[in-house]
Amino acid sequence: GLITFTNGYHGRSYIGMGLSARMNPFKVGFRPFPTEIYRIPFPDEYHNITLDDTKRAFGTLFRSDIEPTQIAAAFFEPVQGEGGYNVAEPDFIEYLRELCDEHGIVMVADEIQSAYGRTGKMFAMEHYGVAPDLTCVGKSMGGGLPLSGIVGRATIIDSIPPGGLGGTFGGNPVACAAALAILDVISEEGLLEKGLRMGTHIDTLFREMTDKNPWNCIGDIRGLGCMNAIELVSDPESREPDGKLTADIVKIALSKGLVLVTAGPARNVIRILAPLSSSIEIVDEGMNILEASISEAVAQSQS
C-alpha cells in the first residue's frame, strides 16, 4: 500500500494521479485508479486540521484497513503546491519520519515545486533538519527544459538493476547541461539568499496591503521562502472560500499584464512563485498590479 495526504499533488502519471487529491481537471476521465492508496489528513492550522487529527487517522488506518508493515511508501510535499501552498509544520515532518522508521516505510518528499532554492534552501526539507529516503526533483532543475529525477539513499537507488529503470527521453544531454549551468548560477548569483530576501519582501507587501485596504477578503497569508500565497475568503470568520472573487482578480490582473496562478481545492488561493532571478523592481510592479486588481474585484463584487 501507499500513503498520501489530502490536498497533495504528485503529477499526471497513472500512479501520480492516484496519489493526488484534486479531481478536476487532473483526474477527470482516468478512473479507475489503483487501490491500496490511503489518504491521510495533512495538518493545516488555518483549516483546523491538527497533527492529532493526522495521528488519529493513521491509528484508524492501521487498525481497520492495512497493517503498517504492508505500507511501502509515504508521499508528501513539504510545501503543497497545487493544494494551496500549505506549509508542513516541523512536528509533522518529525512525526512522519519516526512513523516511517518504526514501520519500515519509505519516506518520499515530493520537491518538484519546492526544490532548487524556491524556499531559500536548495531543498525545502533542509528547513526541517529531517532527511527523507527519496526526494523527487524537477521543474527548476532544468530551467524550463524537460528534466526530472529521484535522489535518495543508495540502499534504495542501487537496488534497481542496470536497465531496470529508464526511458526513451531520459538523460537528454542538452537538458543535463542546462541543469549543471543552473547549479552554477544558483551559487554564483547567491540565489538561495536572494530567495529568502524576496520571500520576506513579498510577505511584507501582502501584510501591508491587507492592513491598509478595507477588503476583508484575505483570510490567510502564508508561505516558505519565495513560495508565497494568499487565501481569498468571503468571510474571515467562517473562512468560506471565495473562488469567484479569486477568478475575478486573476482576470483583472491579466488585463493589466500580470499572469497569476491559483491553487487549493476551491481555487481560492493566489500563489506567487516569482523567478529567483527577478529584480525587486519587477516584484514590486507585479505586487502593485495585484493590489489594484484585488481592489477592483472587491469593488465590482460590492456594486
Q: What is the mean pLDDT of residues 80-88?
A: 96
Query: Which residues constitute the domain of residue 139?
Result: 2-188
Question: Do 7 and 132 share a domain, yes or no?
Answer: yes
What is the pLDDT at residue 26? 85
End of a domain among 148, 166, 188?
A: 188
> Is residue 22 pLDDT above 80, yes or no?
no
End of a domain among 141, 170, 188?
A: 188
How many whole angstroms separate alpha carbon 3 and alpha carbon 218? Answer: 32
> Is residue 205 pLDDT above 90, yes or no?
yes
Q: Residue 47 corresponds to which cell in the numbers above?
A: 483549516
Question: Do 148 and 79 share a domain, yes or no?
Answer: yes
Q: What is the mean pLDDT of residues 3-25?
A: 92
What is the pLDDT at residue 217? 97
User: What number of other Cβ atoms are within 10 A of residue 280's Cβ?
Assistant: 11
What is the pLDDT at residue 67? 97
Question: Do 215 and 119 share a domain, yes or no?
Answer: no
Question: Do 33 and 155 share a domain, yes or no?
Answer: yes
Residues 6+ apart with CB under 8 A from 153: 133, 134
Residues 6+ apart with CB under 8 A from 3: 38, 40, 71, 73, 74, 75, 105
pLDDT band at 202; cut points 50, 70, 90: very high
pLDDT band at 174; cut points 50, 70, 90: very high
Which CATH number belongs to the domain containing residue 53 in this structure? 3.40.640.10
Question: Do 21 and 128 share a domain, yes or no?
Answer: yes
Q: What is the mean pLDDT of residues 211-221?
A: 95
What is the pLDDT at residue 166? 82
pLDDT band at 168; cut points 50, 70, 90: confident
Question: Do 204 and 298 share a domain, yes or no?
Answer: yes
> Is residue 220 pLDDT above 80, yes or no?
yes
pLDDT band at 193; cut points 50, 70, 90: very high
Q: Residue 118 corresponds to which cell in the numbers above?
A: 524556491
Taking the chain, what is the end-to-end CA distance rounded to the nearest angstrom? 52
> Is residue 23 pLDDT above 80, yes or no?
no
Summarize pLDDT for 230-262 with one digit per residue, the tens.
999 999 999 999 999 999 999 999 999 999 999
What is the pLDDT at residue 170? 83
DSSP classification of residue 49: B
End of a domain among 165, 188, 211?
A: 188
Question: Do 173 and 197 share a domain, yes or no?
Answer: no
Of the candidate ranges 18-27, 33-42, 144-153, 276-285, the one whose mean pLDDT is the lowest: 18-27
How many whole angstroms separate alpha carbon 303 and alpha carbon 295? Answer: 12
Which CATH number belongs to the domain containing residue 220 in this structure? 3.90.1150.10
Question: Do 214 and 153 share a domain, yes or no?
Answer: no
What is the pLDDT at residue 251? 99
Question: Do 139 and 195 share a domain, yes or no?
Answer: no
> Is residue 90 pLDDT above 90, yes or no?
yes
Question: Do 171 and 254 share a domain, yes or no?
Answer: no
Question: Do 171 and 125 share a domain, yes or no?
Answer: yes
Summarize pLDDT for 110-164 with one digit per residue, the tens.
999 999 999 999 999 999 999 999 999 999 999 889 999 999 999 999 999 988 8
Residues 6+ apart with CB under 8 A from 117: 140, 186, 191, 192, 195, 225, 226, 276
Give the number of domains in the chain: 2
Question: Do 107 and 245 share a domain, yes or no?
Answer: no
What is the pLDDT at residue 204? 98
Q: Give ∠ CA 15-21-24 in degrees, rounded to 5.
A: 100
